[in-house]
């Protein structure tokens, strides 16, 4: 399957008496999965996006349990999974004494090679990224194991969670073409590896020199996700963005230079596009209000930037939207 091509499965497409076998074949061929409801009542859906060396998926189902271990991992499929529980509950029972209860919004790192028992509640929705174990080992500096990625322990975890949710929404809507999906998945992968790298080097000193692998893509993705979440803030500057992306200002400039941008150029473009969409969506919205909502404190300066970018003043653009 080529990178960026979407695949979708739904248990409603097959007869009730074969739904369990169908679900196991398409979604759980690496594990021992068991339903906690009668097979005929099973409701499950799954969407998968393949990259060059990673997988992205989002799935939802009735209650089920699964066991992982080295005997379930086929040759050539040696991967680890970063999973966000978007909705519902999940219980994890790994080694003796390891009992975890996960609720919506929790992010975790899971190694299918590790013996563990997972139980998903009814309607649980999981969005995840599967990475080669070798890539995770290189980023972490050690063998990965099942681990909860709490924000207080891993500063980039909230941004990766947001990125996973965002990509899941795009996948569900079928909103992009194959090349756009491939680019979005590459950015998500880079952000995930940067998060693992930062997690593995906690306590070793901030902003370590880059080794053989460039970290520009991860820093760029982290910064863009932070900008998208906070573009309305008038105090947003390079120092704030760099801190959120887990790097110095110098490294942030390097990451954006690799994309032919500066951080503030990218932020300005994001804000202008958001203002344009606001004026199109609500042609009666006051231009000054639109400017303020999008992080522009100076309406006059906003008007000049808007006209230079789109060829019309904000008021002219708003009148065009009214006339349509």
What pLDDT does 41 receive? 76
Query: Predicted confidence band at 213 (pLDDT cuts at 50, 70, 90)?
Result: very low
Q: What is the Cβ-side half-sphere exposure of residue 87, based on CA atoms within 13 angstroms?
A: 12
Question: For the chain, what's the residue count?
Answer: 324
The pTM assigned to this predicted structure is 0.82
Rounded-to-integer distance, Cα 111 and Cα 100, Å:
15
Using DSSP's 3-state secondary structure scheme, residue 256 falls into helix
Taken in order of first residue, the domains within the chain and their CATH numbers are 6-205 (2.60.120.10), 270-323 (1.10.10.60)
Q: Please choose, from the candidates 125, 111, 224, the residue with its C-alpha nearest in 3D space to the C-alpha of residue 171.
A: 125
Query: Predicted confidence band at 211 (pLDDT cuts at 50, 70, 90)?
Result: very low
Q: By the 8 A CB rule, do 194 and 215 touch? A: yes
* DSSP secondary structure of 57-74: EEEEESSEEEEE-GGGS-
β strands within the chain, DSSP E: 6-10, 32-35, 44-50, 55-61, 64-68, 79-87, 89-93, 99-103, 107-110, 116-120, 125-132, 147-148
Query: Predicted confidence band at 206 (pLDDT cuts at 50, 70, 90)?
Result: very low
Task: Look at residue 247 and tell me whether its pLDDT is greater than 50.
Answer: yes
Q: Which conformational region is residue 23 in: left (phi greater than 0), alpha (psi within -120 to 50 degrees), or beta? A: alpha
- Decide which of 76 and 115 is more confident: 115
Task: Look at residue 23 and tell me whether its pLDDT is greater than 80.
Answer: no
**What integer is the mean pLDDT of 32-37?**
76
307-314 long-range contacts (CB < 8 A, ≥24 apart) are 309/269, 309/272, 310/272, 310/276, 314/275, 314/279, 314/287, 314/290
Q: What is the Cβ-side half-sphere exposure of residue 209, based on CA atoms within 13 angstroms?
A: 2
pLDDT digits (tens, 9 = 90+) for 123-154: 999 999 999 999 999 888 899 988 889 887 78
What do you get for the CA distance between the two ends of the chain, in Å?
A: 41
Query: Predicted confidence band at 3 (pLDDT cuts at 50, 70, 90)?
Result: low
Angle CA 223–282–319, to nearest 5: 110
Query: Predicted confidence band at 226 (pLDDT cuts at 50, 70, 90)?
Result: very high
**What integer is the mean pLDDT of 188-207?**
76
Q: By the 8 A CB rule, do 218 and 193 touch? A: yes
How is residue 39 annotated by DSSP?
G
Task: Look at residue 259 and tell me whether its pLDDT is greater than 50.
Answer: yes
Task: Look at residue 25 and tell me whether its pLDDT is greater than 70.
Answer: yes
pLDDT digits (tens, 9 = 90+) for 281-301: 888 889 999 999 999 999 899
What pLDDT does 151 receive? 81
CA dihedral of 295, 297, 298, 303, whole degrees rounded to 10 = 20
What pLDDT does 94 receive? 60
CA distances to 212, 248, 294 from 243, in Å: 23, 7, 21
pLDDT digits (tens, 9 = 90+) for 57-105: 999 988 888 888 877 676 666 889 999 999 999 988 865 566 788 899 9
Q: What's the token pair of residue 267?
A: 């932020």
């Amino acid at each position: 399957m080529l990178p960026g091509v979407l695949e979708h499965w739904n248990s409603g497409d097959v007869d009730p008496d074969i739904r369990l076998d169908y679900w196991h074949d398409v979604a759980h061929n690496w594990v021992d999965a068991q339903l906690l409801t009668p097979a005929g009542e099973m409701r499950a859906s799954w969407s998968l996006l393949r990259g060059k060396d990673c997988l992205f998926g989002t799935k939802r189902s009735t209650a089920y349990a699964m066991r992982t271990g080295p005997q379930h991992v086929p040759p050539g499929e040696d991967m680890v999974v970063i999973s966000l529980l978007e909705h519902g509950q999940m219980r994890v029972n790994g080694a003796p004494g390891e009992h975890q209860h996960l609720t919506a919004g929790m992010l975790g790192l899971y190694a299918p090679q590790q013996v563990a028992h997972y139980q998903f509640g009814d309607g649980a929705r999981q969005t995840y990224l599967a990475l080669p174990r070798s890539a995770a080992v290189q980023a972490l500096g050690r063998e990965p194991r099942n681990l909860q990625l709490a924000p207080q322990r891993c500063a980039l975890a909230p941004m990766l969670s947001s990125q996973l949710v965002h990509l899941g929404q795009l996948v569900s809507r079928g909103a992009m073409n194959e090349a756009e999906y491939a680019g979005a998945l590459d950015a998500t992968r880079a952000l995930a590896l940067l998060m693992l790298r930062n997690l593995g080097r906690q306590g070793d000193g901030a902003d370590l020199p880059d080794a053989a692998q460039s970290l520009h893509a991860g820093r760029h993705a982290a910064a863009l996700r932070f900008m998208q979440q906070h573009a309305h803030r008038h105090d947003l500057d390079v120092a704030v963005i760099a801190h959120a992306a887990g790097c110095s200002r110098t490294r942030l400039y390097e990451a954006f230079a690799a994309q032919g941008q500066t951080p503030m150029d990218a932020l300005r473009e994001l804000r202008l596009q958001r203002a344009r969409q606001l004026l199109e969506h609500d042609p009666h919205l006051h231009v000054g209000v639109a400017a303020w909502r999008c992080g522009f404190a100076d309406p006059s300066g906003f008007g000049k930037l808007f006209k230079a970018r789109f060829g019309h003043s904000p008021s002219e653009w708003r009148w065009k939207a009214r006339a349509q």
